[in-house]
Amino acid sequence: MTIPEHWQDATQRETPPTGENIEFQFGGTLLRIGRLEGGIHYHRHAASFELAVPRQLPTRPVATSELDLQARDELDAMAGEQERAIVALLRGPQRVANAVALDWTHANSGRYDHGQLYADLAGDAPEPEAPGEVLGGWLEALGLAPAQIPHEQGERASLFRSVTAGRRIAVLLANAFSAAQVRPLLPNSKDSVTLITSRGLLGGLLMDGARRIDVGDADSVGAAR
Protein backbone atom coordinates (compact mmCIF):
# COMPACT_ATOMS: atom_id res chain seq x y z
CA MET A 1 0.00 0.00 0.00
CA THR A 2 1.38 3.44 -0.93
CA ILE A 3 1.64 5.84 2.01
CA PRO A 4 0.46 9.40 1.31
CA GLU A 5 3.23 12.02 1.54
CA HIS A 6 1.55 14.04 4.28
CA TRP A 7 1.85 11.07 6.67
CA GLN A 8 5.64 11.01 6.45
CA ASP A 9 6.23 13.20 9.49
CA ALA A 10 3.96 11.36 11.87
CA THR A 11 3.34 8.10 13.63
CA GLN A 12 -0.21 6.86 13.09
CA ARG A 13 -2.30 4.04 14.51
CA GLU A 14 -5.76 3.19 13.27
CA THR A 15 -8.03 0.21 13.80
CA PRO A 16 -10.66 0.22 11.04
CA PRO A 17 -13.49 -2.32 10.82
CA THR A 18 -12.59 -5.71 9.44
CA GLY A 19 -14.34 -7.24 6.45
CA GLU A 20 -14.44 -6.71 2.70
CA ASN A 21 -14.65 -3.65 0.44
CA ILE A 22 -13.97 -1.26 3.31
CA GLU A 23 -13.75 2.51 3.00
CA PHE A 24 -12.54 4.66 5.90
CA GLN A 25 -10.78 7.94 6.59
CA PHE A 26 -7.15 7.90 7.71
CA GLY A 27 -5.21 11.13 8.23
CA GLY A 28 -7.61 13.00 5.96
CA THR A 29 -7.28 10.43 3.16
CA LEU A 30 -10.00 8.01 2.07
CA LEU A 31 -8.73 4.42 1.97
CA ARG A 32 -10.42 1.67 -0.01
CA ILE A 33 -9.37 -1.88 0.91
CA GLY A 34 -10.72 -5.06 -0.64
CA ARG A 35 -10.33 -7.19 2.49
CA LEU A 36 -8.85 -6.39 5.90
CA GLU A 37 -8.41 -8.47 9.04
CA GLY A 38 -7.00 -6.85 12.15
CA GLY A 39 -5.68 -3.30 12.26
CA ILE A 40 -3.18 -1.10 10.54
CA HIS A 41 -0.10 0.03 12.44
CA TYR A 42 1.94 2.57 10.55
CA HIS A 43 5.20 4.04 11.89
CA ARG A 44 7.48 6.34 9.99
CA HIS A 45 10.11 8.74 11.31
CA ALA A 46 10.18 12.37 10.28
CA ALA A 47 12.59 13.14 7.48
CA SER A 48 15.90 14.41 8.79
CA PHE A 49 18.23 16.99 7.29
CA GLU A 50 21.38 18.86 8.19
CA LEU A 51 20.92 22.61 8.49
CA ALA A 52 23.01 24.70 6.13
CA VAL A 53 24.47 28.12 6.93
CA PRO A 54 23.11 30.53 4.32
CA ARG A 55 25.08 33.66 3.36
CA GLN A 56 22.55 35.59 1.31
CA LEU A 57 23.56 39.21 1.94
CA PRO A 58 24.29 41.35 -1.12
CA THR A 59 27.74 42.91 -1.40
CA ARG A 60 28.63 45.20 1.48
CA PRO A 61 28.36 48.92 0.63
CA VAL A 62 31.68 50.59 -0.12
CA ALA A 63 30.93 53.46 2.27
CA THR A 64 28.03 54.86 4.26
CA SER A 65 27.50 58.37 5.55
CA GLU A 66 28.89 59.36 8.93
CA LEU A 67 25.45 60.83 9.59
CA ASP A 68 24.25 57.27 10.19
CA LEU A 69 26.70 56.42 12.97
CA GLN A 70 23.95 56.98 15.52
CA ALA A 71 21.76 54.34 13.88
CA ARG A 72 24.61 51.84 13.92
CA ASP A 73 25.35 52.70 17.54
CA GLU A 74 21.72 51.99 18.46
CA LEU A 75 21.90 48.61 16.75
CA ASP A 76 25.21 47.82 18.49
CA ALA A 77 23.67 48.64 21.87
CA MET A 78 20.65 46.41 21.20
CA ALA A 79 22.87 43.50 20.14
CA GLY A 80 25.25 44.01 23.04
CA GLU A 81 22.52 43.53 25.64
CA GLN A 82 20.40 41.08 23.65
CA GLU A 83 18.07 38.96 25.76
CA ARG A 84 15.33 38.45 23.19
CA ALA A 85 14.90 38.57 19.43
CA ILE A 86 15.79 41.95 17.95
CA VAL A 87 13.35 43.37 15.41
CA ALA A 88 14.30 46.85 14.20
CA LEU A 89 12.62 49.04 11.59
CA LEU A 90 15.03 51.46 9.90
CA ARG A 91 13.15 54.51 8.70
CA GLY A 92 14.51 57.19 6.40
CA PRO A 93 15.58 57.51 2.77
CA GLN A 94 15.30 54.00 1.39
CA ARG A 95 18.75 53.98 -0.17
CA VAL A 96 20.35 55.11 3.08
CA ALA A 97 18.33 52.75 5.26
CA ASN A 98 19.18 49.77 3.06
CA ALA A 99 22.88 50.66 3.10
CA VAL A 100 23.00 51.03 6.87
CA ALA A 101 21.12 47.76 7.46
CA LEU A 102 23.34 45.89 5.02
CA ASP A 103 26.56 47.35 6.37
CA TRP A 104 25.64 46.54 9.99
CA THR A 105 24.54 43.00 9.19
CA HIS A 106 27.81 42.32 7.35
CA ALA A 107 29.80 43.75 10.24
CA ASN A 108 27.98 41.48 12.73
CA SER A 109 27.90 38.27 10.68
CA GLY A 110 30.24 36.66 13.22
CA ARG A 111 27.73 37.31 16.01
CA TYR A 112 24.95 35.68 13.98
CA ASP A 113 27.03 32.78 12.75
CA HIS A 114 24.20 30.37 11.94
CA GLY A 115 23.45 32.31 8.79
CA GLN A 116 22.21 35.52 7.22
CA LEU A 117 19.00 35.57 5.18
CA TYR A 118 18.03 38.36 2.80
CA ALA A 119 14.94 39.32 0.81
CA ASP A 120 13.90 42.38 -1.18
CA LEU A 121 10.18 42.50 -0.49
CA ALA A 122 9.51 44.94 -3.36
CA GLY A 123 7.21 47.10 -1.29
CA ASP A 124 7.16 49.84 -3.94
CA ALA A 125 6.33 47.45 -6.79
CA PRO A 126 2.79 46.87 -8.15
CA GLU A 127 2.93 43.36 -6.68
CA PRO A 128 5.06 43.11 -3.51
CA GLU A 129 6.85 39.83 -2.84
CA ALA A 130 4.66 37.14 -1.29
CA PRO A 131 5.97 35.88 2.09
CA GLY A 132 5.32 32.27 1.07
CA GLU A 133 7.67 32.58 -1.90
CA VAL A 134 10.39 34.08 0.27
CA LEU A 135 9.98 31.32 2.84
CA GLY A 136 10.27 28.63 0.19
CA GLY A 137 13.64 29.97 -0.93
CA TRP A 138 14.86 30.40 2.63
CA LEU A 139 13.93 26.88 3.67
CA GLU A 140 15.89 25.49 0.74
CA ALA A 141 18.83 27.73 1.66
CA LEU A 142 18.65 26.32 5.19
CA GLY A 143 19.09 22.79 3.86
CA LEU A 144 15.59 21.40 3.24
CA ALA A 145 14.85 19.53 0.04
CA PRO A 146 11.98 20.88 -2.08
CA ALA A 147 9.90 17.78 -1.22
CA GLN A 148 10.15 18.67 2.48
CA ILE A 149 8.75 22.18 2.01
CA PRO A 150 4.95 22.58 2.36
CA HIS A 151 2.92 24.44 -0.26
CA GLU A 152 0.85 26.59 2.08
CA GLN A 153 2.32 29.84 3.39
CA GLY A 154 1.15 29.22 6.96
CA GLU A 155 2.79 25.79 7.01
CA ARG A 156 5.99 27.22 5.56
CA ALA A 157 6.04 29.92 8.24
CA SER A 158 5.54 27.32 10.97
CA LEU A 159 8.35 25.18 9.57
CA PHE A 160 10.61 28.23 9.32
CA ARG A 161 10.02 29.03 12.99
CA SER A 162 10.86 25.44 13.91
CA VAL A 163 14.02 25.39 11.83
CA THR A 164 15.30 28.71 13.20
CA ALA A 165 14.47 28.00 16.87
CA GLY A 166 17.49 28.60 19.05
CA ARG A 167 19.72 29.68 16.15
CA ARG A 168 21.90 32.79 15.96
CA ILE A 169 20.56 34.08 12.68
CA ALA A 170 20.29 37.48 11.00
CA VAL A 171 17.48 38.46 8.62
CA LEU A 172 17.46 41.56 6.43
CA LEU A 173 14.13 42.50 4.86
CA ALA A 174 14.51 45.39 2.44
CA ASN A 175 11.66 47.52 1.06
CA ALA A 176 8.89 45.94 3.13
CA PHE A 177 5.30 46.73 2.21
CA SER A 178 3.38 45.97 5.39
CA ALA A 179 3.54 44.37 8.82
CA ALA A 180 1.45 41.46 7.52
CA GLN A 181 4.10 40.79 4.88
CA VAL A 182 6.90 40.81 7.47
CA ARG A 183 5.42 38.78 10.34
CA PRO A 184 5.65 35.31 8.70
CA LEU A 185 9.33 36.00 7.98
CA LEU A 186 10.43 36.56 11.58
CA PRO A 187 12.67 33.78 12.95
CA ASN A 188 11.84 32.02 16.22
CA SER A 189 14.96 32.61 18.26
CA LYS A 190 15.85 34.98 21.05
CA ASP A 191 19.35 35.09 19.56
CA SER A 192 18.16 36.37 16.18
CA VAL A 193 18.08 39.84 14.65
CA THR A 194 15.74 41.09 11.94
CA LEU A 195 16.35 44.44 10.27
CA ILE A 196 13.56 45.89 8.15
CA THR A 197 13.58 48.87 5.82
CA SER A 198 10.38 50.36 4.46
CA ARG A 199 8.82 53.50 3.00
CA GLY A 200 5.73 52.72 5.08
CA LEU A 201 5.23 53.29 8.77
CA LEU A 202 4.60 49.61 9.60
CA GLY A 203 2.90 50.66 12.81
CA GLY A 204 1.67 47.13 13.42
CA LEU A 205 5.25 45.93 13.87
CA LEU A 206 5.97 48.72 16.31
CA MET A 207 2.90 47.66 18.29
CA ASP A 208 4.32 44.12 18.27
CA GLY A 209 7.48 45.43 19.93
CA ALA A 210 9.75 46.29 17.02
CA ARG A 211 12.08 49.22 17.56
CA ARG A 212 12.14 52.17 15.18
CA ILE A 213 15.54 53.59 14.26
CA ASP A 214 15.73 56.74 12.16
CA VAL A 215 18.52 57.07 9.60
CA GLY A 216 19.70 60.06 7.58
CA ASP A 217 18.79 63.70 8.21
CA ALA A 218 16.38 66.25 6.82
CA ASP A 219 18.65 67.15 3.89
CA SER A 220 19.20 63.51 2.86
CA VAL A 221 15.47 62.82 3.20
CA GLY A 222 14.70 65.68 0.85
CA ALA A 223 17.35 64.54 -1.61
CA ALA A 224 16.04 60.97 -1.59
CA ARG A 225 12.55 62.17 -2.47
Q: Predicted confidence band at 68 (pLDDT cuts at 50, 70, 90)?
A: confident
Pick the range with the lowest mean pLDDT from 23-37, 39-53, 73-87, 88-102.
Answer: 23-37
pLDDT at 120 over 60: yes
Q: Are 162 and 53 in contact, with CB atoms under 8 Å apart?
A: no
Please give the pLDDT value at position 66: 62
Asked: is 66-224 a CATH 3.40.440.10 domain? The reply is no
pLDDT bucket at 12, cuts 50 / 70 / 90? very low
- Reported as a single tens digit per residue, the pLDDT across 13-67 is 344 455 555 555 544 455 565 665 555 544 443 445 678 999 999 999 876 666 5
The answer to whether residue 7 scores a pLDDT higher than 50 is: no
Q: How confident is the model over 88-109, as a mean pLDDT?
A: 95
Domain with CATH 3.40.50.300 in the chain: 66-224
Give the pTM: 0.75
- Residues of the chain with pLDDT > 70, as a percent, come to 72
**Using one digit for the tens of pLDDT, what is the confidence trace for 129-138?**
999 999 999 9
pLDDT grade, residue 145 (50/70/90)?
Answer: very high
pLDDT single digits (tens) 193-218: 999 999 999 999 999 999 999 997 64
Please tell me the predicted confidence (pLDDT) of residue 90: 97
Q: Is the pLDDT of residue 97 over 50?
A: yes
Q: What is the mean pLDDT of the chain?
A: 82
pLDDT for 33: 58
